[in-house]
Structure 1
Amino acid sequence: MNFEIKLHKNDLPDDLELGNLIAVDGEFMGLNVKRDPLCLIQISTGNNDAHIIQLDRKSYNAPNLKKLLTNNNVMKIFHYGRADLAHIKYYLKIKVTNILDTKIASKLARSYSDNHSLKTLIKEFKNIDVSKQFQSSDFGGELSPAQLKYCANDVIFLHDIHKKLEEILIRENRYNLYSSCLKFLETRVELDLASFKDDIWSH
């Protein structure tokens, strides 16, 4: 399968139209939000394309990207958006709106499995075995073709995966629960940024 991968420096082009349903993912230097900077944002329209934005980490000046992520008319599909949204809010200083999340959807829909990784979902729903070799690699410098392909894999399949998970959620009468979890996601991100990592509902 051939993908169209485009690398953009600092921001999205002014004249780029990506539609009203996009897949979004971020790459960081680690999982500690305040220590490990946001390096990349990748976006796909679901048409075998990936737009990878290599951010200017001195200013994070990306008006076109910020406008897209805050557009209430555009739905954004994440996989484990909790980490991406925390980094985006901390570094881009914006609140992403209209969010879907394949990891949350998978945990509610696929109660027959205890593995909800993106690699597992791509294998189950697309029958493609993607490599996660570059999951832990340096995204802060020049990007290799293999890193760009890895970044593309993180968004290109999300449209189809979310559609399949949505079908299961509706069939099993769990979609309303999924919607409620999405509403809580913003609060979960705020708790992370406030350093509350534990489950506050536990005894």
Structure 2
Amino acid sequence: MHHWISSPQALSETLARWAGQPLVALDTEFIRERTYYPQLALVQLAIPGEIILVDPLVPGMPEALRPLLQDPAVTKLMHSASEDLQALQRGCQALPAPLFDTQVAAAMCGLGAGLGYQKLVEQVTGVQLAKGETRSDWLRRPLSDSQREYAADDVRHLHAVHAFLDRELAERGRHAWLRADTERALRNAAQEGDDPYPHLGVRSAQALDVDGQVRLCRMLRWREAEARRADKPKSWILDNELAVALARRPPADFREFGAVLDRHPKAPRKSRGELWETLSAPITDADRAIPLASGDSLDKQRIKALQQAVAAVAEAQGLPEGLLCARRHLEALLEGRGWPEALEGWRRELLEPRLAPILSGG
């Protein structure tokens, strides 16, 4: 059974009754198809034996949720929390700390990287969950019975999953690893900082020369700022394909630029003047000092050697390679950009002894 909470007073009364509970399961439903920021549409909370569905669209409800989210005495149990954190930060101006992310914990326990909630629940409890409302409209009211049941299932088994993973982490001595990763996830969600080098995430940027990558980086930075300002998806502002094409062969003047944009149905209209200024501004030596996407020009033998070293460490620790280190982090190391923040802490302690000789050429 679950209860629908439609007033801040009812929520406050329920949370007062839950006082002293050390663990609360938490999930959200949100909509993001037409906006940059996720629109918080539902918050699910559970303690053993009780599930509530909270309507965050009701005035005053985000404020009533905030004390629980910020209570340091209550660990919030979530699965694959990164996008939920963004939705809660945007919708409630608060983040659920401390946090126990069952997806991250499962990976640290050797159950697999990126394990979905349904698969994890089945693996731990034997229960098979329905998937019917995955793409549902969570902003509509009232929600259907099937929507509510699906939403309740998302927190119904988190306590059982946590109990299993907590024991597994204790046996492996990896609770500190999980705390480090979840604390970093919370910091990242709180900062909401723009990526200073967004071109590095575009694979086709590797085919551009230095000036082309500078132009692409500029346009993607502009796109990020414009998407935030307009609260629209980034692809609605400027898609990657058009951005790379403009960076590779910048038009000679604004007239030619307009003609190129007119041939692309998804090209910006009202803001094309700003985009042209961003694209056509003179490139300086300081601009050319940005890190470059240069995967194909890197020493492939050394990349392979680094990947093999990561694989050996992962196997020895019983970890998925993807949890330990991504290829882009190895590329950053090989390019001399130092240890990425994502590898600091326990990952660096495991990897540096194996990677340092390869990086130094030994």
Q: State if a TM-score over 0.5 links the two structures.
A: yes
Which SS does the other structure have where 1:62 is aligned? Answer: helix
What amino acid is the match of 2:132?
Answer: Q
Counterpart for residue 135 of structure 1: 134
CA distance in 2, matches of 1:86, 1:67: 17
Match of 1:99 in 2: 99
The count of corresponding residues between Structure 1 and Structure 2 is 196
Q: Which residue of 1 aligns with 2:13?
A: 15
AA at the equivalent of 1:172: R
**More moved, 92-101 vs 32-41:** 32-41
Q: Note the 1:17-166 alignment, pairs <5 A.
A: 17-18=17-18, 19-30=21-32, 34-47=36-49, 49-56=50-57, 59=59, 61-111=61-111, 113-114=112-113, 116-141=115-140, 142-166=142-166
Q: Which residue of 2 aligns with 1:178?
A: 178
Output the aligned Cα RMSD.
2.4
**Matched-pair identity in %:** 18
Secondary structure, aligned partner of 1:73: coil
Q: CA deviation at 1:99?
A: 1.0
1:154-196 CA distances to partner (integer Å, 9 max, x unpaired)? 10100110111121122223222222212211133246x3344
- Structure with the largest fraction of strand: 1
The code of the aligned residue for 2:77 comes to: I
SS in 1 for 2:11: coil
Q: Which amino acid aligns with 2:94?
A: I
Can you give the 5+ residue segments of structure 2 that lack an aligned partner in the other structure?
202-325, 333-362
Q: Measure how far apart 1:68 and its partner are.
A: 1.3
2-structure distance, mates of 1:135, 1:171: 35
Q: CA deviation at 1:20?
A: 2.7
The structure carrying a bigger helix percent of its residues is 2
CA distance in 2, matches of 1:92, 1:64: 9
SS of the aligned residue for 1:14 comes to helix
**Cα displacement (A) at 1:201:** 4.1
Q: Indicate how the Cα distance of structure 1 residues 175 and 35 shifts in structure 2: closer, same or farther if over 3 A, else same.
A: closer
Change (3 A) 1:71 1:53: same
User: Structure 1, unaligned stretches of length 5 or more?
Assistant: none
Contact 2:40/2:91 (<8 A) preserved: yes
